[in-house]
Structure 1
């Protein structure tokens, strides 16, 4: 079937809200901040998988999520999309779905991730039981945040626009930013948020600073967020333990992939 390009935000939102835990990023990208950088594709105008190609960062991002029963039609969609993809991009895909791209693309890096969700209305009930007070960060903190991420999380995907929207908090000690947590997407209109870039300086780990940041950020987001989630590497046991203690539960697994066109490919 031919590819269909989708442009109706309300129709997309209705489609993704059938499984908001799986489609947090897509719902967040319907927000005005991200929408101009999105392109949406499907094989059916009213049902089935949707692929999002996001061009708002340094590297394009392809997101195409599906539950196991829907992976075959998703693979068919990805196969049809191959000629229109950039030569190099990052992708979020169910395990094995990248085989639909294999004729034209090679996997440079694969990172297995858990998608975790905080149950409805749980954010406001989190207990702040650490002796640190995380404060909102603003654009004035940009340089310090970049320094922290370079030391603690150099592979982080960071959108500075989220600072201006109140999407980051941090803990300072003697003026030095030692920990932070932010959002990759936050849409009050869609009432979703995805936490990201939870980072603690290597010299300050083990003191509960990340917990203080995540708890404070969840409290800030609680008023206008019904679906609050995050992604974490499957091999990051300390982070998974922290999120589980806070009440997050695993709702899906998928792979973050970096793909590049093969020398003989057509893309």
Structure 2
């Protein structure tokens, strides 16, 4: 555990609230565990391989965390996860944490704070699903376990979805090396795959992801078979397993429900670009802590 003191930023919008940078894993985990399956990815980023790629900020009073934001730099675009009180998130994004381009993941109620500082792309409405060992219903069939040597072939497979707006944006070769991936090959080429976004053995969590089938081979059960193989191995390791799926993707939701997954919560994903880029100063990147008094009014003006 890192025992260095956290860096504090005065936050006068709420008299007793402060924004501070966190580096104590136990303090971060205690807050994230309040909603373990919503915060699965953030908890996974406490693992030693990921923690150096993270910036953690909290807002609250009296040393108690009321809101938390995680900036993860291990993927392109960077990821920004939000949890907790909206006013606290506005304080964090208005003062201490101001990345230029990020992929947000958080609750829909966090949108006012995000929109105050970022121009947003298309908002994706997502489901977080979980599966318990006693509910898991594997399918029969054999999938190939993929080694790190399949990295280039996975990239080729995932690139097939770009023209259809289905590109897999959350894949990086380190996930293949550190996670669990299964695929189906035809004529020496991958035509379907599923894997993990993260495996966090320290915290007993894993997130299934990167599920994709070549458009020419769909509706043959390949995605189901690969996802089943990944899920089976993760559950056998004693991990709690989650996955994400777009709210409107009825076919995928049906596949996951057949395997025993159930909806846990809803959230959003959206690409954001910091407002004011290209000017001499980010107009909403506050330099003086007293300027934070304007955050709440700015949010009201933008959201009505």
Q: Same fold (TM over 0.5)?
A: yes
- Alpha-carbon distance, 1:185 to partner: 1.1
Q: Tell me whether 1:128 sits opposite 2:144 in the alignment.
A: no
Point out 4+ residue stretches in structure 1 off by more than 6 angstroms. Answer: none
Higher relative CO (Cα under 8 Å, sequence separation at least 6) belongs to 1
Q: Which runs of 5+ in 2 are unaligned?
A: 1-16, 277-281, 286-304
Deviations 1:27-74 (A, max 9, x none): 1111112111111111234443321111112222110135xxxxxx23
CA RMSD of aligned residues (A): 1.8
The 2-side partners of 1:47 and 1:105 are apart by 24
The residue number in structure 2 matching 1:69 is none
The residue number in structure 2 matching 1:80 is 92
Distance 1:162 1:75, change over 3 A: same
- Alpha-carbon distance, 1:155 to partner: 4.0
Contact 1:13 1:27 in 2 (8 A): yes
The 2-side partners of 1:99 and 1:57 are apart by 25
Q: Which runs of 5+ in 1 are unaligned?
A: 67-72
The 2-side partners of 1:53 and 1:166 are apart by 21
The 1-side partners of 2:38 and 2:231 are apart by 19
Contact 2:82 2:110 in 1 (8 A): no
The residue number in structure 1 matching 2:157 is 148
The 1-side partners of 2:101 and 2:156 are apart by 27
Q: For this pair of structures, how many residues does the alignment match?
A: 257
Q: Tell me whether 1:33 sits opposite 2:49 in the alignment.
A: yes
Contact 2:57 2:92 in 1 (8 A): no
The 1-side partners of 2:89 and 2:202 are apart by 29
TM-score (norm 1): 0.89
- Alpha-carbon distance, 1:165 to partner: 2.1
The residue number in structure 2 matching 1:226 is 239
3-state SS of 2:91 partner: helix
Deviations 1:152-197 (A, max 9, x none): 3424311210111242111112212011011111111111011111
The 1-side partners of 2:58 and 2:179 are apart by 33
TM-score (norm 2): 0.79
The 1-side partners of 2:37 and 2:159 are apart by 30
Distance 1:30 1:80, change over 3 A: closer
The residue number in structure 1 matching 2:105 is 92
User: Computing the radius of gyration over CA atoms, which structure comes out larger, 1 or 2?
Assistant: 2
